[in-house]
């Protein structure tokens, strides 16, 4: 039975340090060469705290808003991981690697991922975006324009000079180079 | 960019602040610069859909994942996942993890010297049914000490991770048990300013769902942000 009274969403609590017990099964380790027909890209980086120390127990979720991700046919039945979605975790040096379908630009929006950041110490997850340096026009995207000009670079991944399809992007939780995070 | 939002910003006091010094780990990990209001685009209005293929039979029974039965108070945790309008969220992926009855996690960074239980792994998952219902069978997790401050102890809790109808409905939280005297002492629980919001993270003893001579039941309904039936409009980007 449902009534239509407005309800207040449940409060968030930290994911804590032990999330792998329940969430690891969905952490995608599929190598770039063994995935489907879509063009895959790889983003590598580190999650850092105020002191530049690596955050070794963070979990990231990438979402591209892929059309297919909103319907069951978008699921890869073998893995059950929807297209356009990936969950990764940082390692002992705070580093992460995500391999994911290249997002499409939807003008006036530049190609991007929404990125959710979970970690011990974060009572509520953070939301940011990452744009790909060689794809973004960075002129008309409403979300990029909303970010302070001197901090926009924190939302843009840098293309690797040698390897096509590889990008570099760090997430800084606090401090001088703090990544732009969104209120939501 | 002005387009109608399908997910409103959080009501003041019902969500923890990122920077909450009584919880020491938040001090160096929480952003201090102003958050930027996120205009809602297609990316925010959509979300991943997880199929039944992701869930195996028994994934929601944490007492039957090993060779024998784990030590501890058997219980059922059940309830409904609802949107802000009170409508059931169908097919919502729920993932849980918890300590064993002695308060120990099966995880390499848990250094508490309470015993591990060879019959308890501590993780599970399920999808809500057509009415938004879910259930897990498990054992009651024990409280455990942690390093936040002198003689700090976490109240008994089960970690919950949920995906709703869109990515902005995403929720990671913890479910607590009624009558736990450690709750008023816990900085994580008390990071939520609003007392009524804190109370909504505490499950209710549910004698109707308990099983005579076998196990107790706890009921916990979970409200996710957004509305499941808000149609996505192509024009709003």
Domains of chain A and any CATH numbers: 20-172 (2.60.130.10)
Given a cut of 50, whether residue B235 has pLDDT beyond it is: no
Facing A5 at nearest CB: one of B18, B86, B168? B86
Query: Which residues on A lie below 8 Å from B107 (Cβ)?
Result: 17-18, 20-21
Active site residues per annotation of B:
105, 144, 154, 157, 159
A68-72, B1-5, B14-18, range with greatest mean pLDDT: B14-18
What confidence tens digit (pLDDT) does each residue in A145-164 have?
899 999 999 999 999 999 99
* Residues A157, A163, A167: CA angle, nearest 5 degrees: 15
Q: Which chain B residue has its CA at the smallest distance from A115's CA?
A: B167
pLDDT at A79: 54
With CA atoms as reference, report the closest residue to A112 among A46, A64, A181, A182. Answer: A64
CB contact under 8 A, B50 and A11: no
- ipTM of the assembly? 0.94
User: Is there a cis peptide before residue A108, judged by omega within 30 degrees of 0?
Assistant: yes
Domain B54-223 has CATH 3.40.980.10: no
Distance CA A165, CA A41 (A): 5
Given a cut of 90, whether residue A29 has pLDDT beyond it is: no
Longest dimension (CA), chain B: 60
- The answer to whether B61 and B119 have CB atoms below 8 angstroms apart is no
Residue B211 is given by DSSP the state: B
CB contact under 8 A, B84 and A8: yes
Facing B192 at nearest CB: one of A11, A22, A25? A11
Query: Which residues on A lie below 8 Å from B152 (Cβ)?
Result: none
**Minimal Cα–Cα distance from A153 to chain B, Å?**
14
CB contact under 8 A, B9 and A183: yes
CB contact under 8 A, A19 and B198: no
CB contact under 8 A, A114 and B167: yes
Q: What is the mean pLDDT of chain B?
A: 92
Facing A18 at nearest CB: one of B105, B125, B200? B105
Banded model confidence at residue A130, pLDDT cuts 50, 70, 90: very high
What confidence tens digit (pLDDT) does each residue in A78-102 have?
456 687 899 999 999 999 999 998 8
Interface of B with A in 28-57 (CB under 8 A): 28-33, 35-39, 41-51, 53-54
Query: Which residues on B lie below 8 Å from A179 (Cβ)?
Result: 31
Given a cut of 50, whether residue B231 has pLDDT beyond it is: no
B59 in reach of chain A (CB within 8 A): no
Q: Strands (DSSP E) along chain B, which ranges?
A: 36-37, 74-82, 93-97, 123-127, 133-139, 144-146, 152-154, 157-163, 171-176, 204-205, 216-219, 222-223
CB contact under 8 A, A15 and B48: no
Banded model confidence at residue A113, pLDDT cuts 50, 70, 90: very high
B108 in reach of chain A (CB within 8 A): no
How much is the pTM? Answer: 0.93
Query: Which residues on B lie below 8 Å from A125 (Cβ)?
Result: 170, 172
B195 in reach of chain A (CB within 8 A): no
Select the residue from B6, B16, B21, B31 to test the A interface by mutation, using most A Cβ atoms within 10 A.
B31
Select the residue from A4, A5, A12, A182 to test the B interface by mutation, using most B Cβ atoms within 10 A.
A12
What confidence tens digit (pLDDT) does each residue in B146-170 have?
999 999 999 999 999 999 989 999 9
Select the residue from A3, A4, A5, A14 to test the B interface by mutation, using most B Cβ atoms within 10 A.
A14
pLDDT at B228: 84
pLDDT at A75: 45
Distance CA B15, CA B29 (A): 17
For chain B, the distance separating the N- and C-terminal CA atoms, rounded to the nearest angstrom, is 9
pLDDT at A37: 61
pLDDT at B1: 40
Banded model confidence at residue A3, pLDDT cuts 50, 70, 90: low
pLDDT at B6: 67
Distance CA A64, CA A81 (A): 13
For the segment B16-29, the average pLDDT, to the nearest whole number, is 97
- The answer to whether A146 and A155 have CB atoms below 8 angstroms apart is no
For the segment B109-126, the average pLDDT, to the nearest whole number, is 97
Residue A143 is given by DSSP the state: H
pLDDT at A153: 94
pLDDT at B232: 44
- What residues form DSSP beta bridges with A79? none
Question: What is the gyration radius of the CA atoms in chain A, in angstroms?
Answer: 17
CB contact under 8 A, A15 and B15: no
Given a cut of 90, whether residue B223 has pLDDT beyond it is: yes
Given a cut of 80, whether residue B229 has pLDDT beyond it is: no
Q: What is the mean pLDDT of chain A?
A: 85
């Amino acid at each position: 039975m449902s009534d239509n009274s407005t309800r207040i969403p449940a409060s968030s609590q930290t994911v804590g340090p032990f999330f792998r017990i329940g969430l690891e099964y969905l952490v995608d380790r599929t190598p770039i060469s063994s995935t489907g027909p879509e063009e895959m890209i790889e983003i590598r980086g580190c999650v850092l705290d105020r002191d530049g120390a690596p955050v070794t127990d963070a979990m990231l979720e990438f979402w591209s808003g892929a059309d297919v991700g909103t319907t069951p046919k978008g699921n890869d039945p073998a893995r059950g991981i929807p297209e356009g979605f990936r969950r990764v975790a940082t390692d002992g040096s705070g580093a992460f690697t995500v391999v994911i379908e290249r997002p499409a630009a939807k003008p006036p929006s530049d190609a991007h991922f929404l990125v959710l950041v979970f970690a011990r110490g974060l009572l509520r997850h953070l939301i940011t975006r990452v744009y790909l340096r060689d794809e973004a026009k960075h002129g008309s995207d409403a979300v990029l324009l909303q970010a302070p000009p001197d901090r926009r670079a924190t939302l843009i991944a840098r293309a690797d000079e040698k390897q096509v399809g590889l990008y570099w992007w760090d997430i800084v939780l606090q401090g001088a180079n703090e990544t732009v995070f969104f209120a939501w | 960019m002005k387009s109608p939002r399908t997910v409103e910003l959080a009501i003041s006091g019902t969500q923890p602040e990122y920077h909450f010094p009584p919880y020491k780990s938040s001090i160096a990990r929480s952003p201090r610069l102003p958050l930027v209001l996120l205009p809602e685009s297609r990316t925010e209005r959509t979300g991943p859909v997880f199929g039944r293929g992701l869930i195996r039979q028994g994934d929601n029974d944490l007492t039957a994942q090993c060779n024998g039965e784990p030590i501890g108070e058997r219980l059922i945790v059940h309830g409904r996942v609802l949107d802000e309008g009170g409508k059931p969220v169908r097919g919502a992926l729920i993932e849980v993890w918890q300590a064993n009855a002695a308060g120990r996690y099966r995880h390499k960074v848990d250094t508490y010297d309470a015993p591990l239980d060879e019959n308890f792994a501590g993780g599970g998952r399920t999808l809500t049914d057509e009415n938004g219902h879910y259930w897990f069978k498990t054992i009651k997790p024990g409280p455990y000490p942690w390093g936040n401050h002198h003689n700090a102890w976490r109240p008994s809790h089960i970690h919950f991770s949920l995906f709703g109808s869109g990515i902005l409905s995403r929720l990671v939280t913890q479910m607590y048990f009624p009558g736990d005297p450690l709750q008023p002492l816990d900085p994580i629980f008390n990071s939520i300013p609003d007392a009524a919001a804190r109370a909504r993270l505490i499950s209710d003893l549910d004698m109707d769902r308990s099983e005579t001579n076998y196990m107790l039941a706890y009921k916990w309904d979970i409200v996710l942000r957004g509305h499941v039936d808000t149609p996505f409009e192509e024009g709003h980007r």
